[in-house]
Chains A and B, each alone.
Chain A
Amino acid sequence: MPVKSVKRREKELTIWEKIYIPEIVKGLSLTLRTMFRPKFTMEYPEEKFIPPDSYRGRPVLVQEENGVERCVACGLCSRVCPALAIEVQAAETEIEKERYPEKFEINMIRCIFCGFCEEVCPEEAIVMSKDYELAFSNREEAIFGKDKLLIPVNQLQDRIDFLRQYK
């Protein structure tokens, strides 16, 4: 008994499609039209991408107007960090909040930009910035201390507003 042949093509082609050349002309005209459309390329060093507020760039610490960080060194961010990138050491202080981080380090080689630290923070003290230009020439350079992490609050207002609306 002859084996039933398996039907391989689900859509039968019309004669017009089987001649093949008209279809090729269609494809060619599409690419030709595309050639004259505006280009999407952003020429990076000269022209930079400005991310939307929802963008999760490098995590930073919020610095209040008086120059003190908001962080109270509760250690939740360090606790929740899945990549174990954050190290916090608390100390006492005279001002109202009583605690402050004596040392706050984020290892940017470990950071996976998940944003958990920002989500868990009770004080809105650590947020994800729009900074994506992270390049290091050695490992020591990639560990960001408080000097690099503190960013004035007015520069981060976009992200804080976004968090208040959607978090």
Chain B
Amino acid sequence: MQFWEIIIVTLIKVVIVLTLMLLTVSYLVYFERKISAWAQNRLGPNRVGWQGILQPFADVLKLLLKEDIIPDKANKWVHAAAPMIALFVAFTTYAVIPVGPDVTIFNYNVSLVVADVNIGILFILALTSLGVYALTLAGWSSGSKYSLLGGIRSSAQMISYEISMGFSVGGVILLSESLRPIAIVESQYGWMWNAIVQPIGFITFVVSAFAETNRLPFDLPEAEPELVGGFHTEYSSMKFAGFFLAEYANMIIASALIVTLYLGGWQIPYIEKLGLSSTIVAILQVGAFILKLLLLLFFFIWVRWSIPRFRYDQLMNLGWKVMFPLSLINIIWVALLIMIFNI
């Protein structure tokens, strides 16, 4: 491919991924409301459009029309920058997650990932750690006690759970011998999904992912009954919407990451034995990735409406005394597997 062709192909991918992300995020909010309603024997939003299908647009319009309040004691620049950091981190991370195998479109060999980076997983870990700055800065710059407490909690929580997250990923990397997301997916051929090979690592990673995305049962940074709104107490209008969107975008990232690392990415076990043409296989595989992603997103929402929030000391105990040792055990387990079976 020529240089300009690469640029055009990448631009098209970026546009597609961004639009899909924004759409998914807004509809995720809708489904969150619907599923929460169902879990409580309610109907959920059903007035705007058919079955409330236009609700996300009404929500966004409402948030756009609201007054943007900046507290007198706030540090204006940091206050405005925090939601942007949150959004930037949430949307950038998706660049390295592959949604399907290499396909040939109009004689171009296109890989279905925006950026096929060799150190993809490292890139994701680095960026998601940056995400904590958004919350901490938001909490600090608001000039409010509740916000500050939320920000401090978020940084403490992120530090605790990043460690077990990193170690769980370590197990995956040991098996795939690569930090490239595509290589990690390809290493999970057949039923050799990492969720099956290293179940402990899978559990620790999923729990850490919940903590990293600040979802219940780990939504200590915003804990409504204790901290009003946590780090976003003093945010309104589109800045608040920024955090809101970032939370849901982070949920998508976390789900996509779990799919890529543990659930075999786009792979369908033994699909090559059916003898289908490569185009159909590619379409099916992208479909499989999306299906896995949606099921995980449903799981995220489902857990939120089932499990109560942890107390702060319980959160720390779980992080340091349970998750951290478990992720270490997982690494030993994977090392033993490699030693014994020479995988």
Q: How far is the CB of A92 from chain B (nearest CB, A)?
A: 55
Assembled-state Cα–Cα distance A35/B46 (Å): 16
A135 at the interface (CB under 8 A from B): no
Q: Does B41 contact A (CB under 8 A)?
A: yes
Cβ of A15 to closest chain B Cβ, rounded Å: 14
Q: Please indicate the chain B residues that have their CB under 8 angstroms from the CB of A34 in the complex.
A: 38-41
A21-B203, A35-B35 given; A28·B302 CB < 8 A: yes
Chain B nearest CB, measured from A49 CB (Å): 15
| Cα-based distance from A34 to B38 in the complex (angstroms) | 7
Interface residues on A, range: 10 to 19
Query: Would you call A41 an interface residue if the criterion is a C-beta within 8 Å of the partner chain's C-beta atoms?
Result: yes
Besides A21-B203, A34-B40, 20 other CB < 8 A contacts?
A24-B307, A27-B307, A28-B307, A30-B306, A31-B39, A31-B306, A32-B302, A34-B39, A34-B41, A35-B35, A37-B41, A38-B41, A39-B41, A39-B43, A40-B41, A40-B42, A41-B42, A41-B43, A43-B43, A43-B46
A-contacting residues, B23-41, CB 8 Å: 35, 38-41
* CA distance in complex: A117, B113 (Å): 75
Which of A's residues lie within 8 Å of B, judged by CB?
21, 24, 27-28, 30-32, 34-41, 43
Chain A contacts of B35 at CB under 8 A?
35
Q: Who on chain B is nearest to A37 by CB?
A: B41
- List the B side residues contacting A37 at CB < 8 Å: 41
Closest chain-A Cβ to B206's Cβ sits at a distance in Å of 11
- Give A38's nearest chain B residue, CB to CB: B41
Distance (Å) between the CB of B12 and the closest chain A CB?
Answer: 39
- What are 29 A-B pairs at a CB distance below 8 A? A24-B306, A24-B307, A27-B306, A27-B307, A28-B302, A28-B303, A28-B306, A28-B307, A30-B306, A31-B39, A31-B302, A31-B305, A31-B306, A32-B302, A34-B38, A34-B39, A34-B40, A34-B41, A35-B35, A35-B38, A36-B38, A39-B41, A39-B42, A39-B43, A40-B41, A41-B41, A41-B42, A41-B43, A43-B43
Number of interface residues of B (CB under 8 A): 14
Q: Which residues from A are CB-within-8-Å of B307?
A: 24, 27-28
For the complex, give the distance between the alpha carbons of A150 and B35 in Å. 47
CA distance A27 to B307 in the complex (A): 7
How far is it, in angstroms, between the C-alpha of A107 and the C-alpha of B218 when the chains are bound? 51
Q: For residue B38, which residues in chain A have a CB less than 8 angstroms away from its CB?
A: 34-36, 39
Q: How far is the CB of B35 from chain A (nearest CB, A)?
A: 7
Closest residue to A26 on the B side, CB-wise?
Answer: B306
**What 0/1 readout, one digit per residue, does chain B (290-324) give for beta carbons within 8 Å of chain A?**
00000000000011011100000000000000000
- Bound complex: CA A38 to CA B41 (Å): 7
Distance between A47 CB and nearest chain B CB, rounded to angstroms: 11
- Residues on B with C-beta less than 8 A from A30 are 306
- Cβ-closest chain B residue relative to A34: B39
- Chain A residues within 8 Å of B40, by CB: 34
Chain A residues near B41 (CB-CB < 8 A): 34, 37-41
User: A42: nearest residue on chain B (CB-CB)?
Assistant: B43
A122 vs chain B, min Cβ distance (A): 46
- Once the chains are docked, how many angstroms separate the CA of A24 from the CA of B306? 8
- For A36, list chain B residues within 8 Å (CB): 38
| Cα A32 to Cα B295 with chains together (Å) | 14
Bound-state Cα–Cα, A32 to B305, Å? 10
Interface members, chain B 196-223 (any A CB < 8 Å): 203
Per the bound structure, the CA–CA distance linking A40 and B44 in Å amounts to 11
Contacts of A21 in B (CB 8 A): 203
Top 9 closest pairs, chain A to chain B, by CB: A35-B38, A31-B306, A41-B43, A31-B39, A27-B306, A40-B41, A28-B306, A41-B42, A39-B43
